[in-house]
């Protein structure tokens, strides 16, 4: 850990773990008895995680707006896995009170009274290009744009994350996230997984609001990653490529015709690698189509066609690998200059600012 800290001082400061090891196979058994909340758990990625972690005998709370489907799936998976600790709770992630009720009920259902992992997975996509092609603006009372995507994909994720930041540090028996931990010796967790998208990284023409929401999720991850260590929480991000799920609209399917898609199972695999290893802290991955690739001596990856004994199949790739060292150079330089100015001003400058602050405070009281 010492050498890693010397190479990545910013990562060490916020207790970020070393780069993600794509070759490490998770031990699903570690998920046994862990208490997990998955929003949007009745379909797509959420359902895949629910099934896999249920099979590992985790205590999984599926939250979704679709009551009939959620109830049915929980009953079916209970039978398939012989796991009685599976639950469905109706939740509209856009409604604050609904999410508050979800977390309170999940804590009551938890055998130990706490929550180990929260997956902010609920999301929607637009079926039509409505934002890029405004209509009816010439009316006397033009209608506002449909912001339901932002309500679900951004506001909903913010609500989920906000509640997770309160519940996770209060998980009985848990300890602050530690990149140097030995997973077998860790019994409880404090883990938040954010579900981003390819749209968190790249523009997708015709999906302005979806891209905005997913860029915001990546921004939330990067900010929480730099501060959640103070509460001992580990935050990780998953950004899938286009996947065969209900979110993939007909126009998107047409544009991708003849190409390759990411598989849901690989996204679930990425989530499990995060969830089943408490030592992975503050890391992000993109999940794409599983391709046969080979790394050259310079570290660059190349697509391999045909047989090659040195090639490997890979779908999970780390992103934001060195952004703390690259992007934050500017910040470090600015802060160094500001700190130097503070030193030069000395105690006299501090006293002057304190007097100004007190005067401002008294004036505010008398307004």
With tokens 């579900």, the residue in question is 195
Instruction: Give the SS3 label for residue 193.
Output: strand
Rg of the Cα atoms in the chain: 23
Count helices and strands in the chain by DSSP H and E runs? 12, 9
User: Which ranges of the chain would DSSP assign to H, the alpha helix?
Assistant: 2-7, 9-13, 44-55, 67-81, 96-109, 148-150, 156-167, 208-225, 250-255, 264-275, 323-326, 328-366
Q: 291 — phi, psi (to 5°)?
A: -125, 155
What whole-number distance in Å separates Cα of residue 12 and Cα of residue 7?
9
With tokens 């758990």, the residue in question is 41
Pair 190, 149: CB distance under 8 Å: no
Number of residues that this document lists for the chain: 367
Residues assigned a catalytic role = 210, 214
């Amino acid at each position: 850990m010492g050498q890693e800290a010397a190479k990545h001082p910013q990562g060490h400061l916020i207790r970020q773990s070393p780069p993600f090891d794509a070759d490490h196979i998770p031990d699903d058994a570690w998920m046994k008895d862990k208490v997990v909340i998955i929003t949007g758990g009745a379909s797509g990625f959420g359902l895949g995680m629910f099934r896999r972690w249920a099979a590992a005998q985790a205590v999984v709370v599926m939250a979704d707006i679709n009551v009939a489907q959620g109830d049915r799936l929980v009953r079916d998976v209970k039978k398939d896995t012989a796991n009685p600790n599976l639950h469905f709770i109706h939740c509209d992630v856009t409604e604050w009170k609904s999410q508050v009720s979800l977390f309170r009920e999940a804590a009551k259902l938890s055998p130990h009274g706490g929550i180990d992992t929260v997956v902010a997975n609920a999301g929607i996509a637009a079926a039509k290009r409505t934002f890029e092609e405004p209509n009816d603006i010439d009316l006397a009372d033009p209608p506002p744009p449909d912001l339901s995507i932002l309500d679900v994909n951004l506001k909903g994720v913010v609500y989920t994350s906000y509640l997770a930041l309160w519940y996770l540090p209060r998980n009985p028996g848990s300890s602050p996230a530690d990149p140097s931990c030995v997973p077998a010796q860790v019994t409880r967790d404090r883990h938040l997984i954010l579900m981003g998208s390819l749209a968190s990284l790249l523009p997708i023409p015709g999906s302005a609001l979806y891209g905005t929401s997913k860029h915001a999720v990546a921004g939330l991850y990067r900010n929480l990653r730099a501060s959640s260590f103070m509460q001992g929480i580990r935050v990780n991000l998953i950004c899938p490529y286009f996947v065969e799920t209900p979110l993939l609209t007909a126009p998107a399917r047409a544009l991708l015709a003849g190409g390759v898609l990411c598989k849901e199972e690989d996204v679930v695999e990425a989530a499990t690698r995060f969830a089943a290893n408490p030592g992975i802290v503050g890391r992000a991955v993109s999940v794409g189509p599983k391709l046969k690739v080979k790394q050259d001596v310079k570290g660059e990856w190349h697509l391999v066609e045909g047989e090659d004994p040195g090639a490997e199949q890979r779908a999970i790739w780390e992103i934001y690998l060195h952004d703390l060292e690259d992007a934050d150079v500017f910040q470090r330089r600015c802060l160094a200059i500001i700190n130097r100015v503070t030193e030069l001003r000395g105690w006299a400058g501090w006293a002057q600012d304190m007097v100004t602050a007190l005067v401002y405070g008294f004036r505010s009281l008398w307004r």
